[in-house]
């Protein structure tokens, strides 16, 4: 997951990808209830456990990083 | 004392020789070694992390290390959005921000090495579809991946 997140940031100026060694930052482990690794948090609201395939992870990133299209009325 | 084994150094050197194109800068934030421990400020792995980064940077003329003090050089830290240490910001052919917090040891050591190659070439090896879709992002996305050193 660490590599995939960094690769995504390599490609988009919109992305900031942080890999965090959780035992050194226990306050974050607590804040995000990290019980198993890898755990991935996208924009505070999407939480993913375990390794994600590229295509699936992309969908979560798009969900977080695109304004929903306005529906014509 | 953490140190990269001699044979691993040779392997990494050869890997860098083969894969690095453009320069990559590792911008490392730490704290000055002090006998005075400020509660909540002591950084358990800052020295070890620095040593790993120094050794890695020494394995290629295209990799450089820049070291900053989080407190004394707070304006630099702020410009990279760094608030906690040890922090390593990797700068190369990247469009977004690529950062590592904590010691890059164990399994994550290879993350560091392979990241450096990606940053040097600008080639993520992501699929064409992924790259196309990422180009359509309109909002900022912050990804945090939590790992352990094992």
Mean pLDDT, chain A, rounded, equals 93
Find where tokens 């290879």 sit: B110
Least CB–CB distance from A65: residue in B81, B124, B137: B137
**Predicted pLDDT of residue B32:** 76
pLDDT above 90 (res B68): yes
Question: Using the beta-carbon criterion (under 8 Å), do A8 and B143 form an inter-chain contact?
Answer: yes
ipTM score assigned to the predicted complex: 0.93
CATH T-level assignment (fold) for domain B6-134: Glutaredoxin (3.40.30)
Summarize pLDDT for B4-50 with one digit per residue, the tens. 999 999 999 999 999 999 999 999 999 876 655 565 556 889 999 99
- Contact state of A17 with B126 under an 8 Å Cβ cutoff: no
List the domains of chain A with CATH numbers. Answer: 2-65 (3.40.30.10)
Torsion of CA A72, A56, B130, A19, to 10 degrees: 120
Rounded CA separation A33/A17 (Å): 19
Facing residues of A34 across strands? Answer: none
- Using a CB-CB cut-off of 8 Å, the residues of chain B touching A29 are 146
- Enumerate the domain spans of chain B: 6-134
Residues of B in contact with A43 (CB under 8 A): 141-142
pLDDT confidence tier of residue B79, bands split at 50, 70 and 90: very high
Three-class SS string for A4-33?
HHHHHHHHCCCEEEEEEEHHHCHHHHHHCC
């Amino acid at each position: 997951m660490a590599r995939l997140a960094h690769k995504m940031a390599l490609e988009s100026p919109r992305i900031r990808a942080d890999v965090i060694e959780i035992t050194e930052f226990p306050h974050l482990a607590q804040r995000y209830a990290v019980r198993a690794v890898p755990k991935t948090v996208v924009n505070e609201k999407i939480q993913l456990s375990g390794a994600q395939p590229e295509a699936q992870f992309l969908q979560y990133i798009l969900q977080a990083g695109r304004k929903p299209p306005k529906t014509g009325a | 004392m953490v140190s990269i084994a001699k044979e691993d150094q040779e392997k990494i050197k050869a890997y860098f020789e083969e894969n690095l194109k453009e320069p990559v800068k590792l911008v490392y934030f730490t704290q000055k070694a002090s006998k005075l421990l400020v509660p909540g400020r002591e950084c358990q792995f800052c020295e070890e992390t620095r040593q790993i980064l120094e050794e890695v940077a020494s394995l290629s003329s295209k990799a450089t290390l820049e070291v900053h003090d989080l407190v004394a050089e707070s304006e630099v830290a702020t410009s990279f959005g760094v608030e906690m240490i040890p922090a390593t910001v990797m700068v190369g052919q990247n469009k977004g921000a690529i950062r590592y917090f904590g010691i890059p040891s164990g399994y994550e050591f290879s993350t560091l090495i392979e990241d450096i190659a990606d940053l040097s070439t600008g080639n993520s090896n992501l699929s064409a579809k992924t790259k196309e879709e990422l180009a359509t992002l309109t909002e900022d996305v912050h990804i945090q991946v939590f790992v352990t050193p094992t």
